[in-house]
Amino acid sequence: MSDCREQPLPLQLREQWYIEEKRRLAERAFEQIEKLSSLFIDGGSTTAQLGMLLHAPDQTIVTNSLTLCNTLSMRFPGGGGPRVFLIGGRFYPESGLVLGPNAERNVSRYHADAAILSVRGVDEAALYNNNEMIAGIGRAMISNADQTIVLADHSKIGISGMHRVCPLDAVKLLITSRTKENAAVLNRMASGKTTLELL
């Protein structure tokens, strides 16, 4: 990542923002995915909250998030939890993510019932990230999953970014929170193909 503007924000910082809202978003997502057999879960402070909820030993998780892996290993130190595959590639300790071309190729070796993503922004047109490699992992997961579910706290609604991940219409379900500030954007989104689930 040669452009410092694209450096992922440290996970420890992002984890502190809107933490209760992110927990509720993860709980709502868990209701949708708890019975699915296989999941891609990308690295993010919101999707990381799923680590406290996932528990089924017959469920398979494929992720690029060391944080998610660590949470599950602490919850199930003797095994018994979900089967977890951490994809290979370059590890970026500041974000806790495995990223890059090798990581994207490794994602393409799997198939999942759903891709669970968090993003830096989402508007009526698309999902966005400010880091090219994080956007690339998202695209790879979407391409190899039957459906895409996005978790986005209220601050991400109506925000774009440098790198487009996919059109909004490629998302089956967007789980977010309605506020006075983002209500108009959410109303416009509601006319599209994506189902909105609002806290």
Average pLDDT over residues 2-29: 70
pLDDT at residue 142 greater than cutoff 60 = yes
For the segment 77-136, what is each residue's pLDDT rounded down to a tens digit? 998 999 999 999 999 998 999 999 999 999 999 999 999 999 999 999 999 999 999 999
In this structure, is residue 2 part of a structural domain? no
CATH, residue 139: 3.40.50.1360
Please tell me the least confidently modeled range out of 6-20, 91-105, 170-184. 6-20
Please identify which residue in the block is written with the tokens 């978790």.
151
Instruction: Provide the number of structural domains found in the chain.
Output: 1
For residue 13, name the pLDDT band (cuts at 50, 70, 90). Answer: very low
Average pLDDT over residues 4-20: 59
Of 142, 168, 178, 161, the C-alpha closest to 9 is 161
In this structure, is residue 47 part of a structural domain? yes
For the segment 21-65, what is each residue's pLDDT rounded down to a tens digit? 999 999 999 999 999 999 999 999 999 999 999 999 999 999 999
Q: Give the C-alpha distances (Å, rounded to integers) separating 3 from 8, 53, 91, 131, 153.
A: 11, 36, 17, 9, 26
In this structure, is residue 109 part of a structural domain? yes
In this structure, is residue 102 part of a structural domain? yes
For residue 5, name the pLDDT band (cuts at 50, 70, 90). Answer: very low
Query: Where in the sequence is the domain holding 130, given as residue range(s)?
Result: 8-198
Q: Taking CA 143 as the corner, what is the angle to CA 152 and CA 100, rounded to the nearest 5 degrees?
A: 80
Runs of H (alpha helix) within 94-163:
101-107, 132-143
